């Protein structure tokens, strides 16, 4: 019962969210989240669980998506007609096929060599996508109509909310399947090969075959995500299998935390929110995203999930309350510092004229605006630094085990 | 036909040697620290942008020196306060860090310099055709690029094999512990090499800015190609980097110049194909179309069949 609880919560969340955010935009963001969750989880099968850093995971996402778009287009042009609930399966199958082909040579080694091959394959496909027009559709891409298949339980999937229901079911099933994979001997061996390939080889395991199996399963679920993407947007372009998309999924997984199964899910949710909400408020959102990614790699190698999980010990010992004061003492100057740095960046970006920043009109022509922001940034940074030792001390005493 | 080939060869040499300026720093940094620096091409882009901005006040020539110095200093700071911090989390984290840095620099350039192409022109002193062959001009600026690149290559070769500093750097790549035991400051060497590599990349950017256009995507267009070069040449091999740079430069230049397609080839063998054939994209492929694909194809083939590259040592 205990390990069923997270799944029940997850299912309830998937069920409740469309009632909480019923607007067109809300449903659309939820769909994007579902797609991102499946994609990021499939990516973490490689990076987190298999130790394979890929710079070309969008290949399987994109190829699956294109296949799904062709299947949708085929219904329009007199091809086989089937329920669109099965589209992700078609896409996943194609992603799996691509993963079998490419994985057969790319999984021979992990580490830098694997990363390089994945980058090469990714760039190769991205360049080919612009040449092979009949499959990838060139500049215009491939678009299809998702409402042409036979109705399923009375839904024809013309509406975004119906697509959400479909995406939610597929997301739940895929997440469950990927979690169960980590519990199988193959999933366990993937971890072993990640941590010590030589030892695994000495135990008699074929290291490449272990990696290949993870790679293929990962390719399948990346394809499923691509299929959901095709259903949601009804169009695929070469952009979807470019290295930008591959980089994006790396960002999601890393910011969420690659060491945890739930990490990429949290990363996917956070990044989708940033993507669709923050971009309304500032033109510099990609800069902030890059900044937070670099800072995450430097100071939070375990990602956001790692940050949350760190608090398990203090929580178990009932010491979480003792952390509140040091957190506030550090958090206030840190927030002020970031606030003023962002103000400086926004002013720098604006160049001339005034810029609205949290309801504050900053005039870039006025030297005091620059000076004020700069002084505040320096003062807050000083306060931030001064507060760190006491935070460290409080953290140590809260998470230390009591002497028996 | 012969005039096209000659110009393709000259342009290929210019591109190839430019690529070498980037690849040499990248491969040196890799052999010393084991990090494939994703942000290397970003330093190249920063070089071009800095030179453009500095050049508006001082003109081209001071910018040619100042921009690489500035970017080199920035690179040294990145190594000292960024990369060294991440080092303890392992190679994958380092690779991810440089990837994030490349993303960040691209966004920063787009935010503060703008997304448009900058009007970065070659200096007036070099803005004339050096010679005219078959009615086609060869700009003096390209000859200047060629000259600087060759000069840097000779200087680098001499510096690494004939000077004391070069010897220490070489020793630091092969026997880091011994070098440290002899009392050399190994972390400082790393910082300096990283800074010097970044400065070389920036110099390439200053040179290439006027020819290959200065825009926020310039790092991404060249970055992967430079990776291809260091892998094909053999990771850590300077000779390999030179050969592979020239190979890729010439290959791409020739492929664009020679307009031969599958259709011509099939026609020559005596096979015709219907224009509405389902595989028509493949039958219609031509060499100029394939030019951007060739380096990656070469990379994948190399990694499959001869993973250590042309001049690389066997992997340990």
pLDDT of A400 strictly over 80: no
- Reported confidence tier of residue A98, pLDDT bands at 50, 70, 90: very high
pLDDT of A402 strictly over 60: no
Q: Spell out which residues of chain A touch residue B300, defining contact as CB-CB under 8 Å.
A: 117, 120-121, 124
For residue A102, the model assigns a pLDDT of 93
B126-158: per-residue pLDDT in tens?
A: 777 777 777 777 888 888 899 999 998 899 889
Residues linked to residue B132 through DSSP beta bridges, in sequence order: B137
CB nearest to B307's CB, from A113, A286, A297: A113
Residues linked to residue B138 through DSSP beta bridges, in sequence order: B131
With a CB cutoff of 8 Å and minimum separation 6, the contacts of A16 are none
DSSP state of A240: G
Average pLDDT of the residues of chain A: 88
- Return the structure tokens found at B230: 């260091």
Say how far apart CA B12 and CA B7 lie, in whole Å.
8
CB nearest to B99's CB, from A134, A250, A286: A250
Name the more confident of B245 and A317.
Answer: B245
- Return the structure tokens found at B201: 């990349």
For an interface test with A, give the residue of B103, B233, B298 to mutate (most A CBs within 10 A). B103
- Return the structure tokens found at A48: 């987190």
Contact of A213 with A99, CB cutoff 8 Å: no
Say how far apart CA B26 and CA A164 lie, in whole Å.
46
Contact A247 B103 (CB under 8 A): yes
Q: Which chain B residue has the Cα nearest residue A125?
A: B293
CB nearest to A254's CB, from B96, B110, B235: B96
A165-220: per-residue pLDDT in tens?
A: 999 999 999 999 999 999 999 999 999 999 999 999 999 999 999 999 999 999 99
A24 touches B: beta carbon within 8 Å: no
For residue A403, the model assigns a pLDDT of 52
Contact A298 B303 (CB under 8 A): no
B252-275: per-residue pLDDT in tens?
A: 888 888 777 777 777 777 776 666
Say how far apart CA B156 and CA B28 lie, in whole Å.
11
Integer angstrom CA distances of residue A280 from A180, A286, B86: 38, 12, 33
Residues linked to residue B131 through DSSP beta bridges, in sequence order: B138
Most confident range (mean pLDDT) of A127-141, A345-359, B177-191, B295-309 is B177-191
A32-67: per-residue pLDDT in tens?
A: 999 999 999 999 999 999 989 999 999 999 999 999
Among residues A334, A318, A313, A309, the alpha carbon closest in space to that of A391 is found at A334
Average pLDDT of the residues of chain B: 86
Contact of A63 with A246, CB cutoff 8 Å: no
B272-294 core/surface letters (b: 16 or more CB in 10 A; e: else):
eeeeeeeeebebbbbbebbbbbb
Q: How many percent of chain A have pLDDT more than 90?
A: 42
For residue B273, the model assigns a pLDDT of 66
CB nearest to A121's CB, from B97, B280, B300: B300
For residue A182, the model assigns a pLDDT of 93
First-last CA distance in chain B:
47
Name the more confident of B270 and B241.
Answer: B241
Q: Which class for A93: exposed (0-12), middle (13-18), buried (19 or more C-beta within 10 A)?
A: middle
Say how far apart CA B89 and CA B82 lie, in whole Å.
12
First-last CA distance in chain A:
32
Contact A291 B104 (CB under 8 A): yes
Q: Spell out which residues of chain A touch residue B77, defining contact as CB-CB under 8 Å.
A: none
CB nearest to B281's CB, from A109, A121, A132: A132
A53 touches B: beta carbon within 8 Å: yes
Q: Which chain A residue has the Cα nearest residue B279?
A: A134
How many angstroms away from the CA of A306 is the closest CA of chain B? 14
The residue written with tokens 């008699």 in the block is: A204
How many angstroms away from the CA of A261 is the closest CA of chain B? 18
With a CB cutoff of 8 Å and minimum separation 6, the contacts of A294 are B82, B97, B100, B101, B104
A298 touches B: beta carbon within 8 Å: yes
Report phi then psi at A236, rounded to 5. -130, 135
Q: At what angle do helices A185-195 and A160-183 cross, to 10 degrees?
A: 70
Give the count of alpha carbons within 13 A of A113, CB side only.
Answer: 20
Say how far apart CA B156 and CA B167 lie, in whole Å.
12
**Cβ count within 10 A of residue A155:** 17
Report phi then psi at A143, rounded to 5. -125, 150
Contact A283 B111 (CB under 8 A): yes
For residue B316, the model assigns a pLDDT of 36
A327-342: per-residue pLDDT in tens?
A: 888 888 888 888 888 8
A74 touches B: beta carbon within 8 Å: no
A122-159: per-residue pLDDT in tens?
A: 999 998 888 888 888 888 888 888 888 777 777 778 78
For an interface test with B, give the residue of A43, A47, A49, A115 to mutate (most B CBs within 10 A). A115
- Return the structure tokens found at A309: 């999980």
Contact A134 B278 (CB under 8 A): yes
Say how far apart CA B109 and CA B103 lie, in whole Å.
10
Q: Spell out which residues of chain B touch residue A301, defining contact as CB-CB under 8 Å.
A: 86, 89, 93
Contact B103 A298 (CB under 8 A): no
What secondary structure does DSSP assign to B103-160, as a single string?
A: HHHHHHHHHHT-SSPB-----GGG-SEEEEETTEEEEHHHHHHHHHHHHHHHHHHHHH
Contact B107 A289 (CB under 8 A): yes
For residue A312, the model assigns a pLDDT of 84
Q: Which chain B residue has the Cα nearest residue A127?
A: B293
Cα-trace Rg, chain B: 21
Q: Spell out which residues of chain A touch residue B97, defining contact as CB-CB under 8 Å.
A: 294, 297-298
Contact B97 A115 (CB under 8 A): no
A221-230, A273-282, A392-401, B209-218: which has the minimum mean pLDDT?
Answer: A392-401
For residue B313, the model assigns a pLDDT of 66
How many angstroms away from the CA of B32 is the closest CA of chain A? 15
Average confidence (pLDDT) over A2-21 = 89
The residue written with tokens 């491969």 in the block is: B27
For residue A223, the model assigns a pLDDT of 96
pLDDT of B286 strictly over 80: no
Q: Spell out which residues of chain A touch residue B290, defining contact as CB-CB under 8 Å.
A: 131
For residue A84, the model assigns a pLDDT of 84
For residue A370, the model assigns a pLDDT of 82
pLDDT of B7 strictly over 80: yes
Contact A105 B36 (CB under 8 A): no
B67-95: per-residue pLDDT in tens?
A: 999 999 999 999 999 999 998 888 888 98
Average confidence (pLDDT) over B44-73 = 91
Q: Is the dihedral of CA A197, A199, A205, A206 positive or negative?
A: positive
Among residues B233, B236, B258, B238, the alpha carbon closest in space to that of B248 is found at B233
pLDDT of B315 strictly over 80: no
Cβ–Cβ pairs < 8 A, chains A and B: 113
């Amino acid at each position: 019962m205990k390990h069923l609880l997270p799944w029940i919560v997850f299912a309830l969340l998937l069920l409740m969210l469309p009632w909480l955010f019923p607007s067109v935009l809300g449903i659309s963001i939820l769909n994007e989240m579902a797609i991102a969750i499946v994609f990021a989880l499939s990516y973490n099968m490689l990076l987190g669980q298999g130790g394979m850093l890929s710079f070309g995971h969008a290949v399987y996402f994109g190829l699956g998506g294109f296949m799904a778009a062709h299947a949708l287009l085929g219904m329009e042009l007199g091809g086989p007609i089937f329920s669109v609930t099965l589209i992700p399966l078609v896409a996943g199958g194609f992603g799996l096929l691509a993963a079998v082909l490419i994985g057969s040579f790319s999984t021979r080694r992990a580490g830098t060599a694997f990363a390089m091959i994945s980058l090469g394959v990714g760039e190769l496909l991205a360049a080919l996508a612009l040449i092979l027009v009949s499959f990838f559709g060139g500049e215009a891409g491939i678009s299809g109509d998702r409402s042409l298949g036979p109705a399923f339980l009375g839904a024809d999937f013309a509406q975004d909310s119906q697509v959400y229901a479909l995406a939610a079911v597929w997301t739940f099933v895929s997440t469950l399947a990927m979690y169960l994979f980590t519990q199988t001997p193959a999933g366990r061996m993937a971890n072993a090969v990640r941590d010590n390939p030589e030892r695994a080889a000495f135990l008699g395991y074929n290291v490449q075959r272990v990696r290949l199996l993870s790679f293929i399963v990962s390719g399948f679920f990346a394809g499923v995500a691509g299929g959901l993407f095709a259903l949601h947007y009804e169009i695929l372009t070469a952009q979807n299998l470019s290295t930008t998309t591959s980089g994006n999924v790396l960002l999601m997984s890393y910011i969420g935390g690659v060491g945890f199964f739930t990490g990429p899910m949290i990363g996917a949710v956070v990044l989708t929110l940033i993507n669709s909400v923050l971009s309304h408020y500032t033109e510099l959102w990609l800069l902030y995203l890059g900044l937070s990614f670099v800072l995450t790699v430097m100071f939070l190698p375990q990602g956001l999930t790692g940050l949350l999980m760190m608090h398990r010990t203090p929580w178990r010992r009932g010491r979480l309350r003792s952390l509140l004061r040091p957190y506030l003492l550090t958090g206030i100057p840190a927030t002020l510092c970031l606030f003023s740095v962002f103000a400086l960046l926004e002013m720098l970006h604006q160049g001339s004229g005034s810029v609205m920043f949290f309801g504050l009109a900053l005039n870039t022509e006025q030297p005091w605006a620059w000076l004020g922001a700069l002084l505040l940034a320096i003062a807050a940074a000083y306060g931030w630094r001064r507060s760190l030792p006491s935070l460290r001390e409080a953290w140590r005493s809260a998470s230390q085990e009591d002497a028996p | 036909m012969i005039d096209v080939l000659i110009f393709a060869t000259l342009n290929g040499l210019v591109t190839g040697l430019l690529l070498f300026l980037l690849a040499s720093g990248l491969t040196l940094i890799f052999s010393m620290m084991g990090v494939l620096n994703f942000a290397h091409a970003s330093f190249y882009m920063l070089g071009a942008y800095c030179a453009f901005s500095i050049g508006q006040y001082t003109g081209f020539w001071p910018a040619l020196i100042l921009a690489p110095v500035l970017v080199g200093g920035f690179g040294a700071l990145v190594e000292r306060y960024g990369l060294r911090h991440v080092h303890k989390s392992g190679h994958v984290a380092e690779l991810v860090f440089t990837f994030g840095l490349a993303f960040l620099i691209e966004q920063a350039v787009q935010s503060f310099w703008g997304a448009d192409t900058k009007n970065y022109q070659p200096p007036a002193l070099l803005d004339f055709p050096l010679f005219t062959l078959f009615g086609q001009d060869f700009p003096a600026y390209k000859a200047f690029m060629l000259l600087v690149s060759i000069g840097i290559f000779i200087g680098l070769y001499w510096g690494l094999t004939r000077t004391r500093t070069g010897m220490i750097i070489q020793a630091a790549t092969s026997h880091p512990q011994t070098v440290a035991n002899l009392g050399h400051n190994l972390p400082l060497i790393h910082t300096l090499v990283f800074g010097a590599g970044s400065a070389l990349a920036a110099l390439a950017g200053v040179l290439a800015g006027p020819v290959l256009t200065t825009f926020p995507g310039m790092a991404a267009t060249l970055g992967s190609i430079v990776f291809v070069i260091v892998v094909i040449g053999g990771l850590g091999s300077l000779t390999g980097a030179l050969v592979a740079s020239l190979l890729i430069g010439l290959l791409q230049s020739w492929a664009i110049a020679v307009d031969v397609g599958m259709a011509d080839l099939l026609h020559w063998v005596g096979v015709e194909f219907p224009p509405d054939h389902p595989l028509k994209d493949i039958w219609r492929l031509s060499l100029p179309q394939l030019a951007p694909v060739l380096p990656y194809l070469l990379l994948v083939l190399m990694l499959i069949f001869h993973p250590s590259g042309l001049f690389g040592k066997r992997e340990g």
